[in-house]
Structure 1
Amino acid sequence: MIRLETQFFNLNKILLLTIGLWPYRQSYFTRLQFIFLSTILTTSLIFQCTPLISQKCTPNFVAKVLSSASFFALFVIKYNMFCINIETMKDLLEQLQHIYNKLKDKNEFAIIDEYRSSVKRCTTVLTLYGICSICALILCSCLLLSEFWSKILDVILPINVSPSRSLPITMEYFVDQETYFYWILLHINVSYCIGATAMVGIGTTLIAYLQYTCGMFKISSYRIKRAVNINTLKNTKLKNGVSTLQEIISAIDIHRQAIRLSKLLVSKIEKMLFCLIIVGVVCLSLNLFQIASYEDNIKEILFPFIFVTICITYMFVANYVAQDITDHNSDFFAAVYDVKWYEAPLHIQKLILFLLQKGAKDFTVGVGGLFVGSLECFATLVKASVSYFTVIYSTQ
């Protein structure tokens, strides 16, 4: 028996194992690993918010602190909420395995293989994207050190002023930051690496799951086309002895399972998705404000630029996958409409007419009844972020 974790989720498995979130490996050591990494990630967010307590708060300062803190909040939300639902994810993966084991012929396996290749490409690209963002942040952290620039300037134009070092992100550890500067910088970089790995690993796992359901939608279209064709209409028996009616029922069954699994996944992570959307819009707005407030100091926009790029990419990918689910569901009913159902026996015609009525309403992936995953939703979120940024900037 072929296991999906080795076919669909092999790279996702590696990413999730590194952060202790692979559903099939939840040992005592894994729990300690999660607690350790979660502590690093959470303390990083806390120390980014402490300047609001220890320093004088002005609107610009608050926006600067929250621009980075909101981005790291995305990491914390996704990492911890996925852990809370890890048993649910394991159950969902087992259900996918059960459906895969019941596929009928080589054409259906070929459809799944097509989506497996698509998932691998997507996971590889997003993993490389995450690695590039980590490298960019670490490189920026090194290049933004005042000491680094001072040494270069000292060669070109010697000065007698001792270099001052500043952190790439505003943070307050309540210790002498000059003494523990490199430890603090290490904490920032390690927490970002953990968060980026979590975002990519969890995100690509959810994408793989939803792409599998897209494959189920396509299999349902294939079954309905195979069931209602010219040869079948001439003889209500297929070559293998299965009746046309049973074949249509099997197509409807896998279509309903695809819808059920999609809804079940979204319902289990709905709170996480809702929090990610709200915090993501806030993060995008504040970092756009930081970029717009650029005043001849390039280090002020490097990190906001990275955060904006990642937020927009993540919003687009999430909504694109949700749009893909809707499109595949519509393709099923388009397939039902295109077959020569009007030449079928009357009892089959009645069944197909019921299907056509069902297709009058689109199936969408929604969150909290407020957000419906689609490319239109992506445009709405970006528009809302730009609108909030405009309001903040106009009141500067």
Structure 2
Amino acid sequence: SNVILAWTRKHSSKSMKHTRDYYYDINRRFLSIIGQWPYQKPKARLFFLALVFTCLINTAITQIAKLLMCKNEQCIFEVLPPHFLMWNILVKVFTFRFNNQKIKNLTDQLFANWDIFETQEEREIMKKYAENGRRYVLIYSSYLYVTAISYTITSLWPCIMDAIIPLNTSRPIMLIWEAYYFVDEEKYYYYILCDMLIIFMICLTGLIAHDCMFFTYINHVCGLFAVVGFRFEHMTYKCDIASRNLIDCLDNAYHRQFVFSIHVHRKALQFAKLIESVFSISFAIQLAIVTVAVSISLLQVSIQLHHNIVEATRYFLFVVAQLFYLFCFSLQGQKLMDYSLDIRDKIYNSAWYELPVKRQKMFLIVMRRGIEASTVTACQIYVYSLQNFTTILQTAMSYFTVLASFNE
């Protein structure tokens, strides 16, 4: 029997490891590409990280050179949106780099928390939320890659039209973003284009890797809160009906349930606080950058709409991608708030009235903590939620109005 039990545990452990690898494999691949996967070999991490920084520095130099060459506001406004995107990606990469130990702690807990659950129902809850996280990763990454490809196609539109409907003279070339490469752009256009395409995809992967890992962390902590709520709701069901009158049975079963639930609840709260400590400062910088970038891009859409429909389409795609980014983060922040506050309702909906009075009073400790929502903030100033998402939209529109009035 001992041999069978040992084999069962070993088989269960292998099965659980395979499940974890399935749910987090996409995140591992994205983070490995930019040298930020915590379990990556040091040399590989250094190589891929150096590659990302080289791409970002290359982009920064050429964009700053273009800014220095600009002689009017319109030229500056054309350069700034992709330039802000570059700084946004740089902030994301630095976030993982400077919080390397915290990221490793988060990822260690992400894997370790799967082994603490006792029942199949709890494991199924964690699988459900891990699957949700994986789904978010697939949708978010696919959307951004499709948007990037669409944006690139609009940049190649003059070349495509020259091939389909040639004119006596070639149409003016368009770069993926405004930059100055210190060479003749027409002569070396395809070399510059290839360089931009490679940089674009590598840097975009860095952005996606950061965001998708954040989504995975949030869905994991929501799963922990869901397990705690499930335990509180079914707190008194462990004793069978025939033993309901035996206070000792009920009391002991409740005590084990309560201790474990408090343990998991504390883990969820600590996990949420660690997420907040890692991303708070980074999110404040990113929020400021994205708000200004959206405002300037809206200005460019309104200007180019009457002169160049292709350029207007490019900036429109950029605006939609930025708004989608803000909405996804606001949605994750809202989910974290809702699940952390939902513990109170789960306790209320449980059969707490069947417990001894001295045990009922212990619920007050958890309910008191459940009054305060776990949040994702930007330096404790801005709370990511769906309600505040509309506030950011209003702010961006206000900046756009001011810029448009000056442009007139």
Give the partner amino acid of 2:73.
Answer: P
Listed as ranges, the gaps of 5+ residues in structure 1 are none
1:162-311 to 2 correspondences below 5 Å: 164-229=172-237, 231=239, 234-236=245-247, 242-294=252-304, 295-311=306-322
**Shift of the alpha carbon at 1:60?**
2.3
Is the Cα–Cα contact under 8 Å of residues 71 and 307 in structure 1 kept in the other structure? no
**Shift of the alpha carbon at 1:350?**
1.1
- For 1:81, which of 88, 92, 95 is the aligned residue? 95
Give the partner amino acid of 1:285.
Answer: S
| Secondary structure of the corresponding residue to residue 8 of structure 1 | helix
Please tell me whether residue 122 in structure 1 is matched to residue 129 in structure 2: no
The Cα offsets for residues 181-240 of structure 1, whole Å up to 9 and x where unpaired, read as: 21211222222111221222221111111111111001101111222459586444559x
Please tell me whether residue 25 in structure 1 is matched to residue 33 in structure 2: no
Is the Cα–Cα contact under 8 Å of residues 45 and 72 in structure 1 kept in the other structure? yes
C-alpha distance in structure 2 between counterparts of 1:18 and 1:40, whole Å: 13
1:106-121 to 2 correspondences below 5 Å: 106-121=120-135
Is the Cα–Cα contact under 8 Å of residues 236 and 253 in structure 2 kept in the other structure? no
Please tell me whether residue 375 in structure 1 is matched to residue 386 in structure 2: yes
Is the Cα–Cα contact under 8 Å of residues 291 and 392 in structure 2 kept in the other structure? yes
Listed as ranges, the gaps of 5+ residues in structure 2 are 1-12
C-alpha distance in structure 2 between counterparts of 1:200 and 1:237, whole Å: 53
- For 2:53, which of 25, 35, 38 is the aligned residue? 38
Is the Cα–Cα contact under 8 Å of residues 225 and 339 in structure 1 kept in the other structure? yes
C-alpha distance in structure 1 between counterparts of 2:95 and 2:375, whole Å: 23
C-alpha distance 247-40 of structure 1, shift in aligned 2 (>3 A) = same
The Cα offsets for residues 289-331 of structure 1, whole Å up to 9 and x where unpaired, read as: 1101122312321321121111111111111011101111122
- Identity, in percent, stands at 23
C-alpha distance in structure 2 between counterparts of 1:127 and 1:362, whole Å: 29
C-alpha distance 386-235 of structure 1, shift in aligned 2 (>3 A) = farther
- 1:149 equivalent in structure 2: 161
C-alpha distance 162-109 of structure 1, shift in aligned 2 (>3 A) = closer
Please tell me whether residue 135 in structure 1 is matched to residue 149 in structure 2: yes
| Secondary structure of the corresponding residue to residue 293 of structure 1 | helix
Is the Cα–Cα contact under 8 Å of residues 239 and 253 in structure 2 kept in the other structure? no
Is the Cα–Cα contact under 8 Å of residues 5 and 13 in structure 1 kept in the other structure? no
Which range is displaced more, 162-171 or 130-139?
Answer: 162-171
Which range is displaced more, 2-11 or 347-356?
Answer: 2-11
**Shift of the alpha carbon at 1:336?**
0.7
C-alpha distance in structure 1 between counterparts of 2:176 and 2:369, whole Å: 55
C-alpha distance in structure 1 between counterparts of 2:266 and 2:321, whole Å: 34
TM-score (norm 2): 0.88
**Shift of the alpha carbon at 1:262?**
1.0
Please tell me whether residue 70 in structure 1 is matched to residue 88 in structure 2: no
C-alpha distance 388-164 of structure 1, shift in aligned 2 (>3 A) = closer
Please tell me whether residue 350 in structure 1 is matched to residue 365 in structure 2: no
- 2:9 equivalent in structure 1: none
C-alpha distance in structure 1 between counterparts of 2:344 and 2:215, whole Å: 23
| Secondary structure of the corresponding residue to residue 361 of structure 2 | helix
Give the partner amino acid of 2:374.
Answer: F
The Cα offsets for residues 349-391 of structure 1, whole Å up to 9 and x where unpaired, read as: 1111333333333332222111111101211111111111111
Give the partner amino acid of 2:213.
Answer: T
Give the partner amino acid of 1:252.
Answer: I
| Secondary structure of the corresponding residue to residue 91 of structure 2 | helix
Is the Cα–Cα contact under 8 Å of residues 40 and 187 in structure 1 kept in the other structure? no
Please tell me whether residue 12 in structure 1 is matched to residue 20 in structure 2: no
1:304-319 to 2 correspondences below 5 Å: 304-319=315-330
C-alpha distance in structure 1 between counterparts of 2:246 and 2:299, whole Å: 68
Is the Cα–Cα contact under 8 Å of residues 42 and 76 in structure 1 kept in the other structure? no
The Cα offsets for residues 117-176 of structure 1, whole Å up to 9 and x where unpaired, read as: 21222222122213312321332232234xx4345443xxx53x4654342422112222
Question: Please, what is the CA RMSD of the aligned residues?
Answer: 2.3
| Secondary structure of the corresponding residue to residue 35 of structure 2 | coil
- For 2:113, which of 99, 102, 116 is the aligned residue? 99
- 2:403 equivalent in structure 1: 392
Is the Cα–Cα contact under 8 Å of residues 331 and 385 in structure 2 kept in the other structure? yes
C-alpha distance in structure 1 between counterparts of 2:174 and 2:107, whole Å: 46
C-alpha distance 382-237 of structure 1, shift in aligned 2 (>3 A) = farther
- For 2:65, which of 46, 50, 53 is the aligned residue? 50
